[in-house]
Amino acid sequence: MKKINLLIALLICITASAQLDNTFGIKAGTNYSQFRPDVEYYGEKVQDFQGKIGYYIGGFFNVRISDKTSIRPELLLANQGTTLNEIYSEFLYGEEGEVVNKVNELVILLPINFRFELIESFFLEVGIQPGYALKRTIVAKKVSFEPSWEGEKTTYSNFDRFDFGLNGGLGFDLTDQLELNLRYSYGLIERDNTIKTSVISFGLGFNL
């Protein structure tokens, strides 16, 4: 009983101490995202995924554990996706040419990262990132065999919306309120039976 009471008292002290140092704020930045892996059919590459530039914006809540460690849950709205080059061969499709599509996904992200201060103002973070895609839009950027299709936009509703990945990143506190952050997210879930996500993000956070 004494050990249980001591443990409860210790948890209360830690929680009370953490509450005093908890902070919240807003963050925004840019990202470079793409799907993976490329798709081959009968030894020929038919889908080549390349990166696209997007953005993210949202907020965070920093829970201080000790002087050098904290847990950072975030809620972000992000524009991610990929650039998809599809190569059509006459042997496989009856037509030969290239189609370039820009795939845009509007995604809600919930990163939860453990942060550790390596040296003063410089920190490392690792964690997880669940995600849910609200919308997927594909814009035809290039259609070599039918240029009149270029610019057409298609919105999809039937696709795998849930995602889950691992995060790793570095950051630097520019001031007491402003931080610089670089992060990589590696998707673990295979969506639509073929694709996984890969996202590099870079931006600023501001403690309110």
Residue 5: pLDDT band with limits 50, 70, 90: low
12 membership: H or E segment, kind and range: helix 2-21
Q: How far apart are CA 87 and CA 120, in angstroms?
A: 50
Domain boundaries, the chain: 22-207
Q: Which residues of 109-129 are buried (b: 16+ CB within 10 A; e: fewer)?
A: bebebebebeeeeebebebeb
Among 24-28, 111-115, 138-142, which is the least confidently predicted range?
138-142
Is pLDDT of 92 > 80?
Answer: no
Phi-psi label, residue 164: left if phi above 0, alpha if psi -120 to 50, beta otherwise: beta
Closest C-alpha among 41, 48, 128 to residue 92: 41
pLDDT of res. 94: 56
Q: What is the pLDDT of residue 46?
A: 76
Question: CA-CA distance, 34 to 22, in Å (whole number)?
Answer: 34
> What is the rounded distance in angstroms from the CA atom of residue 156 to the CA atom of residue 168?
30
Amino acid present at 164 = F
Q: Just give the CATH number of 22-207.
A: 2.40.160.20
pLDDT of residue 12 exceeding 80:
no
Please state the pTM of the whole predicted model: 0.83
> What integer pLDDT is reported at residue 69 of this predicted model?
93
Average pLDDT, the chain: 87
pLDDT of residue 6: 52
